[in-house]
Structure 1
């Protein structure tokens, strides 16, 4: 039966004026707007090759995605597929959305081949973004048939539930079911969707979609988690791709963390995949489930336990390194470090062998050669190279840089505080200074431009924070975006120290909270309705600064750390925007937990 909305495109190829085979492409789209840039196929009648790009955003790194597009032009694919997260999004500001979509379109404008859009959670998160997508591209899920292969492009964001909560709702499922029934004779089916729904819960009709796919030749491609792995399931191969510029620690193949594009050559036996790194090419087995289980599903096996001192200038200290081998093969660890003129350190051993399913510990001896205060120590950077020794296959090697710095033992005193912004109760408090400044030097004019000090306390009801802020140019906009004006951020991880000390930013909202507050009169807090607790706050404003008080309920701290909690990890910082400066400067007590300069265990307070 002929559908009224079918767009029939017939491509003609010629050689010296003689018509060749005419591949026919059927695309069923009911709108005038189309979710692709053009359909001038960059094809060769004897070949069927296309490329896949993956997440550009979720903490994008400028320049990576455009570089990938340039490399694709060198390879000349017939067309390019995507798996979403093309803009940063997560906003209802249409001006910002237009700017981000125009920027992205400028990235693919140089691409010779057609580019097919698939939405990710950064592209569609709310009704405003959903309407913008429809305005630009017409539909959020669709399909086309090319050379007897069905390309099924789906929308895992059809219920606007955000990261880790993708769905296929009833309406989309019926579309998929109908499409598969009408194309049951194709030789292969390729599915493109942003979130890997096969590893998520409560995905509505996704399991039903898998059932529809189970009796046909198919593969599924997704992105979202910024890590590559291949799974063989449901009589097909399912791929979660890494990044094409999205946020990533880039720890390499063992972790599935790398920037790549996928080069697919379609054959009668299915697609042959080559992962094109910016510095090389790997086949589809670059990361298998076996390697995921060995390496990535475990924390890095070497870590240095935080060391705290109650002395300002300790002469000598010791830290403990723990090496955990919970695999069934022998592990070799080699340690390398750089010398430091103030803080001398020595390993018991530079090379350690850990037997299968065993734990090794060794001391790191520290000496304060310059009689310096703890705050003056530089962060040590120790590289741990880990190798698993296999008998019947190549060894697996990977490495990580371990950050370490001896830290002062901050004591949390018990004091009753009234949240009014007056700071009357804080006369005897210990005040800490936010010294970690980032930003262009010419955008920061010294402590009169911006400085932040704070103190902490607790009682049976709350954990308290007092802030003294100097800022000679407050930038406040009731209609502006939260990230484009002055704001203070407080981060609290109340879990036991063996967990909170090694928090690298994962699990925000679930394991720890980030509370960002601007100086808006209305809705000053980012996502306040999604926080697992109610933070009390009071602010006193002055011409050149502010005083603030905050209270985090003890009920939350006991929930995360237990009734007998003994410590919590705290982070605080300020984003300073000045009207006459080009960029913001940031002022933190310690580097952020998810940043490259994070020191495990920093910001820890111990109950008195």
Structure 2
């Protein structure tokens, strides 16, 4: 691609030209101006200069005609927050870059419904059409995953990977999802890249854009081939996907994983790499100069380095800074929870906590509290709670604001956040001798069943009452199995051959048998500690037999039986103790369970969900809720 016309020069540059023209006019009107023909700035500016002192620093104007500026936008979807990307478009029009480049995930996608894809792409295109400058598309996994989405991309935008040259800078736009599955690149694309680099052997700089930072994944796919092809040139790489900013270096080259421009994020700020931004790039002879433009300020490229990322991982993430739920087996009156601080880094940090109680509870321990956590050690802070009256069930009893600080050399690095302290009911798992796994629930007479909560719905507008979709469930020990019993009311059972689970009727069981320190944590986007199991039961219907699916894959040792009834179906699922022991790491002592129903009916606009407890990971979820313990 050839250079753009001068109409794409930034407004700031035109302002400078106008300013210089004004200075020239003033200087030519002076009888005393000095003109040094050897001064490199003389052809641009004429100004009256004293040989003693002048009210300026120097006259080496920062006006390299080969320098230019462009902007990068990053992930908009994967749980988009409405209005953010549109606001970014408006701000880019104020900033007036010469053009804008994307790193993908522009629509929610992940569908084979062409009408839905058209709606989403039309909405996105209507926003970028408001830009006063060119916009360069790039597909992410939300934009380009299945064959239908690939066809729609080709019809609307043509190539899914391409390149252009602007002012002797080579821009390479890669598709990290064209290899037949998510986060893979095809051999054809690698061959194409070889040809592009061979045809452009010595640009001033090479800028590479891709959605998934494949170099930062366990499965790097073909990225080592990309690295090898680039290694002999000056280059910089930009990606998105992780929704958390981090800058790293590989073999002396800078690799940037960008945060979000409206995609899902906990928005904890710059130190966590979680913020909405556009990246402002000034292209110089020495490479790109990076400015992260946030709604609340401008940061340089070191806003979050790989070392800061690693320290955060080792001090804060994956449950290292955690507040396990405080369990009770009747009505709660008072007790002491523990905040756990695990420092897996090689440097100490200091943490200060301030606890505040929610309505109906009081904090009776000291607050604030401060402690130092040495490297590679664990420390705890007790938080004693009291309820104003005996409390049953599950409650978010208190919040703890925390501030963590460590030193990077002489520079303090500070993080702020909060954790919820939950008080949660723990239920006994009672035995039933010799359950016959027949789905009829004969042995469960008199055993306690839990009902779907009245206020726990998903897309409640599609629910027409208890006869449409409802359930109850129970759990027991029998022999060497944990057995679940399900009673489902469903006026019409729907099964099909789609791989999409939620296009059919199904029951989702979430099971966590890990140690309490893990399973009692609140699973949020910024505090994810993976390890639970998802077991999906699909009933018998429309000629399809009942089946179990799940993540991770449900082993054959887990058995199920479904029996159709006049109002729906009943079911039993038997999970061997050996599987629970493996998840626990030793003999299991309890589990955390949740049960959710997803109902699809013909001629209705969408599914409806009913839940026993709020699905794990929701903001409304109470940590530890759904806990069960083994009887002695």
TM-score bracket for this pair, using the shorter chain length = 0.7 to 0.9
Count of residue pairs brought into register by the alignment? 565
Structure 1, unmatched stretches of 5+, are 1-7, 16-43
Choose the corresponding residue for 2:339, options 305, 310, 321.
321
Contact 1:254 1:296 in 2 (8 A): no
Partner residue, 1:101: 121
**Offset, 1:402:** 1.6
Q: Sort the Cα spacing of 1:71 and 1:448 in 2 relative to 1 into closer, same or farther, 3 A.
A: farther
Partner residue, 1:22: none
Choose the corresponding residue for 1:424, options 425, 437, 442.
442
**Offset, 1:225:** 1.3
Partner residue, 1:25: none
Contact 1:383 1:399 in 2 (8 A): no
* Deviation string, structure 1 residues 212-248 (Cα, Å, up to 9, x no partner): 2222111101111111100022221100111122222
Q: Sort the Cα spacing of 1:334 and 1:511 in 2 relative to 1 into closer, same or farther, 3 A.
A: closer
Partner residue, 2:157: 137
Contact 2:358 2:396 in 1 (8 A): no
Q: Secondary structure at the match of 1:276?
A: strand
Partner residue, 2:368: 350
**Offset, 1:392:** 5.3
Partner residue, 1:495: 514
Are 1:110 and 2:130 an aligned pair? yes
Partner residue, 1:564: 587
**Offset, 1:560:** 1.9
* Deviation string, structure 1 residues 292-321 (Cα, Å, up to 9, x no partner): 1222344355432332222x2243323223
Q: Sort the Cα spacing of 1:237 and 1:476 in 2 relative to 1 into closer, same or farther, 3 A.
A: same
Which moves more between the two structures, 579-588 or 590-599?
A: 579-588
CA distance in 1, matches of 2:255, 2:411: 25
Which moves more between the two structures, 486-495 or 498-507?
A: 498-507
Partner residue, 1:82: 102
Q: Secondary structure at the match of 1:406?
A: strand
**Offset, 1:446:** 7.3
Q: Sort the Cα spacing of 1:510 and 1:249 in 2 relative to 1 into closer, same or farther, 3 A.
A: closer
Within-5 A mapping of 1:59-458 = 59-162=79-182, 166-300=183-317, 301-310=320-329, 312-327=330-345, 328-341=347-360, 343-357=361-375, 358-372=377-391, 374-375=392-393, 378-390=395-407, 393-415=410-432, 416-435=434-453, 437-438=456-457, 451-458=470-477
TM-score normalised by the chain length of structure 2 = 0.79
**Offset, 1:542:** 5.9
Contact 1:167 1:206 in 2 (8 A): no
* Deviation string, structure 1 residues 11-34 (Cα, Å, up to 9, x no partner): 44479xxxxxxxxxxxxxxxxxxx
Structure 2, unmatched stretches of 5+, are 9-63
Contact 1:437 1:585 in 2 (8 A): no
Partner residue, 2:531: 511
* Deviation string, structure 1 residues 258-309 (Cα, Å, up to 9, x no partner): 2222111211121111112233222211101221122234435543233222
Contact 2:104 2:143 in 1 (8 A): yes
Contact 2:202 2:233 in 1 (8 A): no
CA distance in 2, matches of 1:584, 1:529: 21
**Offset, 1:470:** 4.5
Contact 1:348 1:362 in 2 (8 A): no
Q: Secondary structure at the match of 2:395?
A: coil
Contact 1:492 1:512 in 2 (8 A): yes
What is the Cα-based RMSD across aligned positions, in Å?
Answer: 3.5
TM-score normalised by the chain length of structure 1 = 0.82
Q: Sort the Cα spacing of 1:510 and 1:103 in 2 relative to 1 into closer, same or farther, 3 A.
A: same
**Offset, 1:540:** 5.0
Q: Sort the Cα spacing of 1:11 and 1:56 in 2 relative to 1 into closer, same or farther, 3 A.
A: closer
Contact 1:244 1:260 in 2 (8 A): yes
Q: Secondary structure at the match of 2:79?
A: coil
CA distance in 1, matches of 2:250, 2:141: 25
